[in-house]
Structure 1
Amino acid sequence: MPPAVNAKSVTRNVGWSVLSKTGTFGLKFVTVPILARILSPEEFGAVAVALALVQFLAMIGGAGFASGLVIQREEEMATIHSVFWTNLAISAAMALAIFLTADELAALCGAPEAGYLLRIMSLLIPLQLAGDVAYALLARRMQFSRDALWSMISESAGALIAVGLALLGAGVWALIAQLFSSAAIRLVGLYVVSGYRPRPVFHPRSVVSLGRFSLGMMGSEIANFITFQSPMVVISRYLGLADAGAYSAANRFSSIPNQVVLSAVMGVLFPAFSSMMHDRERRSQALLLSTQVTTVLLAPMMFGLWALAEPAMRVLFGQQWAHAWPVLALLSLSKGILTPCSTYIPYLKGIGRGGMLFWWAVFRAAATTGAVAYAAMAGTLVDAMIALCVVNAIVLVGYTGVVYRADRAPLRGLLVTSRPMLTSIAMALIVRYLLDVHGHLMPNPAAQLIVGIAIGGAIYSVMTLVFERQLLLKLGELVRKRGSNPAVSAAE
């Protein structure tokens, strides 16, 4: 049986996960600008289009079978081996299909130049899916520290290889080498720490039984994946690889804050809300507090990046990407708008509203793809990003309505959770105004960036002390309680 889970074990594993994500995306914070300075937008775009298709098919190829192993009461080795061979067979078939039709698929995505890259990157599918079973075993044993260690090792090695090859003039092959080296090192690490070794055992009934559960989980995940990746394909098809490269670089950079903070937190909130399913008052308080905290942390980062996108693009990515600063600004704005949804989604899962999540995920995927495609066909990349912001604003309103109806929460809670976002927007508008009006007094973009961060940080700190005093006092009280009585804290 999976080990017992309590607050102490969850906190420890979240800590490891956050450490891993911080290290991984900290590397991206450094390597993405370095690679962007060395490589061209067309090279970035070609790899991004091919990778989007490969990742989508890899997710479908796994079909969620490995995730079904996590909830099994016992580690039945026959079932584990059966899932491994199923994943391997499906991934090999998909890789072969992509290899044979790479040119046609690349042209369909609007990037015919990426055909040879897609043919090579098709081998990533079996390389990624071969480790799913080993990771599932670590997850059910709550051994995230081991996965975190190998994730940091693999990403560090891949980043060093990519930068080294790029400096040597390898061009687009630097990005390819990064993907394959990271995947291969992590695969080896997963087998080392999990102790799993495949055996020639296959029970079709075990796979079918897991499939009923796994396929039910995949619907909303596929819709979410389409939401995140469809803009890349649409932009490449209608605006070209240069714009796709600009979008890819800006999107990868603007996603770092969200991915560092939320990737671990969202995984913890789901079981936490599940344990409160029948206690409406307690779960409402937890929803209010978690939404406030995540918004206080993330909103100023995203809206602040919107305000400082122009000097940030010049300093981090170089002059050849300077024209793309509006793309970085609008992507940061679109992600900032959705900040509260980071708690709404696990909340709806936890209280058993999976059907609502599925249909909202489908709506969001269709709306995002349609709006970005229409704007790209009728206008420019900036128009497509504006359309994305509009869709995300509608999605936020929809999720908020669903959550507050499901919880029958008073509107006061909506005001409390929205206040940090409004404060962040006010801060960003002030910083942007000062940059537009007085930026000429400090023409150096690095100086503009440093001064802008300092001014924005000071303004937001003062606003937070004024408007979020009760939240700060509550968090301070929680910290004092945990520090004074760790035994009680672990039992909570």
Structure 2
Amino acid sequence: MAPTQGVKSITTNVGWSVLSKTATFGLKFVTVPILARLLTPEDFGSVAVALTVVQFLAMIGGAGLTSALIVDRDGDLDTVHTVFWSNLAMAVAMALILFFGADVLATMMGAPNSAGLLRIMALLIPLQLTADVAYSLLAREMNFSKDAILSTVSEVTAALVALGLALLGFGVWALVVQLFSSAAIRLFGLYAITRYAPRLVIRPARILPLLRYSSGLMGSEMANFVTFQAPMVVIARILGLADAGAYSAANRFASIPNQVVLSAVMGVLFPAFSLMGDDRKRRSEALMFSTQAMTVVLAPAMFGLWAVAEPAMLVLFGPQWAYAWPVLGLLSLSKAIITPCSTFIPYLKGTGHSRVLFWSAVLRAIATTAAIAGGAYYGSLVDAMIGLCIVNAVTLVGYSWAVFRVDKIPFFWGLLTSSRSMITSFIMAIGVRVFLHTFSAQLTSPYLQVLAGAAVGAVLYAILFLLTEMRLIRKIVDLVRRRRGRPATEPSSA
């Protein structure tokens, strides 16, 4: 029988995943700006566009089968073997389509000179899809400690290799080798950890129930893919590779907090919510607690980066990227606005509400693509980023309404509870910007501006957090006390 999952179990696994992402955070914090100084915006743009195509074809090839395998905890090894061979067959097919259609696809994406990169990067698809099968075995057992160690090793090694090649003058190939290094280490590591050995067993009857589940997710996953990757394609086609590279570099850095926290949390929450079944009380408690916790962590980081974006761009990326500081600031703002929604996708996915997930994702994808395209066509890259911020504000309200309705949580109470830390973070960021403007004559160095802004922001947010989140603090304290075998100070509420 599958283990019962609650807040305690979720936080244990989230802790391991966040530890893994945090271990790579410091290195990425350094390597992304260094790579940006060594490479050109066109290099970043070319690889980003090519990777978008690869990820899209890999998503189609996987057909959501590994996600279905995580939910299907009673499936035997014959089912796993069948998924492996199905994934491998589709991966090879997608790789061949990409290899022979590279010229056409590169032109469609607005980067005709990237056809050669596409042919080489086609090999990433089999590496990704075959690794996903082994990962699903770890995920459905909630064994994230081993995956955390492997993720740290693969990301750190790949980043160091890329940095070394960039320093040696290999240019765009440094980014390509980084992708292959990370994928290859992850592939072999996962199979070594799980000790899974594929056998030539194909049982089509075993895969049909998985397809019924995965087909409901495919539409929403494709829509989410469009939401996150459409900006790159639209910018490349309308504004060119230089602006696409500026967007890619700024987005890479602005996404680091999300990579550290969200990627870890979403990987754990999806199987955790799927285990809770119809236990609405425990599910609601886990949903609200995880949403509040993620907002408390992510919102101040993203709003803080928005507040110091101008000096941060000079400090991190150098003078050649200084013109793109509004892009970094607006990207950070757009991600800050959406932080309360960080747990909604794994919640809807894990609880089987594929229809709500699908329509929410489709509407968001359409709105995001339209806003980016309109801003880029009639204005500039900055206008496109402003459009993204507006769409994310609307998405926050829409997603919250959909999820709270599914879980029967009062909408206004749920929205206020989940967004409270976002509001206080925004107030903190405004205070930082006012401070930097007031003391601009004294803070002449961008390094001083970043350090002073971070210090002032930390103090302001700490004060606001203590004033507004005492109930959450008590929940966290009670959770820690229960984990140590001590009685809670008071019953925790949802």
TM-score of the pair, normalised by structure 2 = 0.92
Give the stretch that moved more between structures: 327-336 or 268-277. Answer: 268-277
53-62 vs 200-209, greater mean Cα deviation: 200-209
Report the CA distance shift for 1:343/1:129 in structure 2 as closer, same or farther (over 3 A).
Answer: closer
Shift of 1:268: 4.4
Q: Greater CA deviation, 132-141 or 88-97?
A: 132-141
Cα contact 1:21–1:259 (8 A) shared by 2 = yes
Q: CA deviation at 1:350?
A: 5.7
Aligned 8 A contact 2:20 2:152 in 1? yes
Over residues 97-130 of structure 1, what are the superposed CA-to-partner deviations in whole Å (9 max), with x where a residue is unaligned? 1111111111100111211111111111112112
Matches of residues 49-448 of structure 1 in structure 2 within 5 Å? Answer: 49-270=49-270, 271-272=272-273, 275=276, 277=278, 279=280, 286-349=286-349, 353-406=353-406, 407-409=408-410, 411-448=412-449
Shift in Å at residue 73 of structure 1? 4.3
Q: Which amino acid aligns with 1:466?
A: L
2:142·2:268 contact (CA, 8 Å) conserved in 1?
A: no
Q: Tell which deviates more after alignment, 392-401 or 142-151.
A: 142-151
Contact 2:300 2:461 in 1 (8 A): yes
Paired amino acid for 1:465: L
Q: Cα distance, 1:151 vs. partner?
A: 1.6
Q: Which amino acid aligns with 2:457?
A: G
User: Where do 5+ consecutive residues of structure 1 fail to align?
Assistant: none
Distance in 2 (CA, whole Å) between partners of 1:358 and 1:269 is 18
SS at match of 1:415: helix
Question: In 2 relative to 1, CA 144–376 (structure 1 residues): closer, same or farther, beyond 3 Å?
Answer: same
- The answer (yes or no) to whether the contact 2:78–2:203 under 8 Å persists in 1 is yes
- The 2-side partners of 1:424 and 1:73 are apart by 40
Q: What is the identity percentage for the equivalent residue pairs of Structure 1 and Structure 2?
A: 61
Question: How far apart, in 1, do the equivalents of 2:436 and 2:471 lie?
Answer: 32
Give, in whole Å, the separation in 2 of the partners of 1:125 and 1:269.
25
Tell me by how many angstroms 1:236 deviates. 0.5
2:14 aligned residue: 14
> 1:312-360: CA deviations, max 9, x gaps?
1111111111111100100010011111112344444566543222101
Contact 2:5 2:275 in 1 (8 A): no
- Kept in 2: contact 1:98–1:119 (CA 8 A): yes
The residue type paired with residue 238 of structure 2 is: Y
* Partner secondary structure for residue 170 of structure 1: coil
1:472 offset after TM fit, Å? 2.5
Q: Which residue of 2 aligns with 1:454?
A: 455
Q: Which moved more, 1:15-24 or 1:118-127?
A: 15-24
* 8 A Cα contact 2:3 2:275, kept in partner: no
Q: Provide the residue aligned with 1:483 in structure 2.
A: 484
Q: CA deviation at 1:206?
A: 2.7
Aligned AA for 1:418?
Answer: S
Which amino acid in the other structure matches residue 343 of structure 2? T
215-224 vs 64-73, greater mean Cα deviation: 64-73
Distance 2:116 2:143 in 1: 39
Output the amino acid matched with 2:187: L
Deviation at residue 29 of structure 1 after TM alignment: 1.8
CA drift of 1:40 comes to 0.5
CA contact (8 A) 2:294 2:339 kept: yes
Letter in 2 for 1:409: P
Q: Distance in 1 between matches of 2:324 and 2:220?
A: 32
Partner Cα separation in structure 2 for residue 314 and residue 10 of structure 1: 39
The alpha-carbon deviation at position 228 of structure 1 amounts to 0.4
Q: How does 1:33-48 map to 2 (within 5 A)?
A: 33-48=33-48
Using the alignment, how far apart are the partners of 1:295 and 1:73 within structure 2? Answer: 31
- What SS does the aligned partner of 2:410 have? coil
Q: 1:286 to 1:387 in 2, by over 3 A?
A: same
State how far apart, in whole Å, the 1-side matches of 2:184 and 2:414 are.
47
Consecutive unaligned residues of structure 2, counting only runs of 5 or more, are none
Aligned length: 489
